Amino acid sequence: MKKQLLILLLAALLPCGISAKKKAKVQQTDREYWTALAYHMARPVLENMAKGELQKNMLTEFSPSFDNRNRKVVYMECFGRLMAGIAPWLSLPDDDTPEGRQRRQLRDWALASYRNAVDPSSPDYLCWGVSGQNLVDAAYIAESFLRAYDSLWMPLDETTKQRYIKEFTALRKIDPPYTNWLLFSSTIESFMAKAGAPYDEFRVNTACRKVEEWYVGDGWYADGPTFAFDYYSSYVFHAMYLETLQAMTDAKANTRIDYPKYWDRALKRAQKYAIVLERFISPEGTFPVIGRSTPYRMAAMQPLALMAWYEKLPKDLSNGQVRAALTQVLHRMFDTQNNYNEKGYLTIGFCGHQPETADWYTNNGSLYMTSLAFMPLGLPATAPFWTDAPQPWTQVKAWGGMPFPKDHHWSDDIKTKDKW
């Protein structure tokens, strides 16, 4: 009798349970949250630039201490840096999901924007050759082509391609500072090698040799001869060094440098640095604010995002913990703070509008470096990074009394020498 009553009770409750589930609000997935952020950030830039109206409509902002460089660099910085961040996402094949439709729209706008950027008759022709700053942001444009070669470079018409080759070549007149800027030259030149255009081997190999000299250990590079405790290993070194080496390998360039072997060593350094970055993320989703260029926001996490996109996370970092950690940082930074102006463009600041954080070279185009954290969107929605269950990251484990892995020194175990 009791068994029959229990069955009847369960039968009575079951429809209510089903009905409750139907009425419950559908929880946004981490990927849906990331794509919403990326689309919100990219749309004002690309929708306007596709129509040749970015320079007309963008609400710009400059550092209170901005130097005397041409202020039109803001548009090149905005476009180049944004595209470097979302290029992996736009490289995914089309589909008819809501995300797929947004992605296809952004890609169409991006391809039109690429054309306008080098068309002298377009109102959004970028300020090529007016400032040394052009070398920096031309490198981010080249980087976007490297990250989505088949989706963003190959579909361009031949006239547009030749215009890019011409503009990139003209930048050789710029003598880069003895810092991370050497990698801006190498990124452009290695892209040209991959694209089958004439390239400057000396600029590529000099950058590689200096980066090797400036490696200080445990994933950190000095930004020039003197080490500074900042995020330039994140903003520039790891990604552009790996991409330079990979592009030269793809181009089958035969020089003194063994690019594949250098790449293997650079990858291990990036993996170690990814461990450092993951350990920087607090249980609350904050990370240390150090060094210059802090308004680049999430760009500090670029190597961690890059390793996730490459599917090369080190063994101590699971997909679930990295996704959970980065998602928590995105929520902490973007959910409640005022990071956008009234026209939808990023404002100067780290977590909100904080103009005093700007350096003398900062404008709100510079800030689109934050999109570099979106690279895991270049993985399909079925990839383990997106489907694995969220896991506690290191600081959650450490401060929550849970076991967590030790963190010891990593040594370079791959030795290289000139091929001849």
**93, 77 Cβ separation under 8 angstroms:** no
Lowest mean pLDDT among 22-36, 81-95, 358-372: 22-36
The predicted pLDDT at position 84 comes to 98
Give yes or no for residue 22 having a pLDDT over 50: no
* Mean pLDDT of the 379-397 span: 98
Domain 46-399 belongs to what topology? Glycosyltransferase (1.50.10)
Share of residues in the chain with pLDDT > 90 (%): 92
* Mean pLDDT of the 284-295 span: 98
Average pLDDT, the chain: 94
Q: How confident is the model at residue 1 (pLDDT cuts 50, 70, 90)?
A: very low
Give yes or no for residue 8 having a pLDDT over 80: no
The predicted pLDDT at position 24 comes to 54
Lowest mean pLDDT among 148-152, 300-304, 336-340, 391-395: 336-340
Whole-Å CA distances, 58 to 78, 124, 193, 293, 311: 10, 11, 34, 22, 36
Domains of the chain by residue range: 46-399
* Mean pLDDT of the 313-317 span: 97
**Residue range 83-114, pLDDT digits in tens:** 999 999 999 999 999 999 999 999 999 999 99
Give yes or no for residue 247 having a pLDDT over 70: yes
The predicted pLDDT at position 13 comes to 32
| 94 or 16, which is more confident | 94
Give yes or no for residue 389 having a pLDDT over 80: yes
Give yes or no for residue 5 having a pLDDT over 70: no
